[in-house]
Structure formats: C-alpha cells, structure tokens
Amino acid sequence: MEKIIYINNAKQMIDLGERIGKVVEANMVIALDGDLGAGKTTMTKGIAKGLGVEGIVNSPTFVIMKIYEGRLTLYHLDVYRTNDDEFELAEYFEMGGVSIIEWSHYIESLLPKGCLHIFISNLGNDKRELTISWEDSEYDKVVDAICE
C-alpha cells in the first residue's frame, strides 16, 4: 500500500512524527530515506517526542545508533556508513522497542518484511513530499495517524 502526503515546514514534520510516536507499538520498524537534509532526523525528533523521550535527539551518523528511553525504547540508527553484511540489526527489531533507520536502502536486505517505509523528497523552501509504503496491516493505524 502507498500514500503520498505533503509537508510545508519543519514544524509540520515534527508534528507528524509526534503523531506517529503516539501510536507506534513494540517491535515496529520505520525505514526513512531521502537526500541529505530531507528531514529524516527531524521526523525522528517528532517520533521521539510522541514516545515521551526527553532530551536532545540528533543524528547518530558517526556512532551508527543512539538509544532513547520513552514509552517504548527508541533505537535510532543511521546506516549511511554501513552495509548489510557489516551490521547485525535483527536483534533490535525484536527487543520491544521501535527502530527508526535512516538511509535504510543501504541495508534493505536486513529490514523486516512489511515494515513502514517513508521516503522524503525535498521540494525546496522547506516543502517535502512523503511517500509512505507498507505491507503489514499492523502499520495501518500508524498510517492513519500520519494522514489525519
């Protein structure tokens, strides 16, 4: 399944992420892709806010993963500098938290089938197009929160 929505600024991206964070459940995986500066980390900040994470959320580019505690544990991964034969991820997908993977296309073969995928296209002037795709019905309510 696929939906396309539009975002006009960073605040809307954070608000959208917050709606996602309020409805995600244990062991959900959100794969984020898009060009540098598209808004992957901004989206993650909103999801963290929705999960009740306190403190600063920033990109784990140089450490690969940051872990935040909230309603559910948030595993925030940036796999830009990895490939699918370097990094063991499967254990995090099943630890009862939520995994958000920036640059997920680099490890596509490791992603669980049916995860939620959001591709963010930069349209200029802070406007973004989000292409949301998913196969597993467990993500229907997350997509409903995105599209409300």
The one-letter code for the residue type at 65 is M
| pLDDT higher than threshold 80 for residue 7 | yes
Buried b / exposed e along 119-144 (16+ C-beta atoms within 10 A) = bbbeeeeeebebebbbeeeebeebbe
Q: Which residues contact 80 (CB under 8 A, 6 or more apart)?
A: 61, 102, 103, 106
| Rounded Cα–Cα distance for residues 74 and 24 (Å) | 11
Stretch 35-43: mean pLDDT? 94
Per-residue model confidence as pLDDT tens digits over 68-109: 999 999 999 988 866 555 557 778 888 999 999 999 998 888
Q: Which CATH superfamily is domain 2-147 in?
A: P-loop containing nucleotide triphosphate hydrolases (3.40.50.300)
Domain residues of the chain, as ranges? 2-147
Q: Is the dihedral of CA 100, 46, 118, 126 positive or negative?
A: negative
* Predicted pLDDT of residue 62: 67
pTM of the model: 0.92
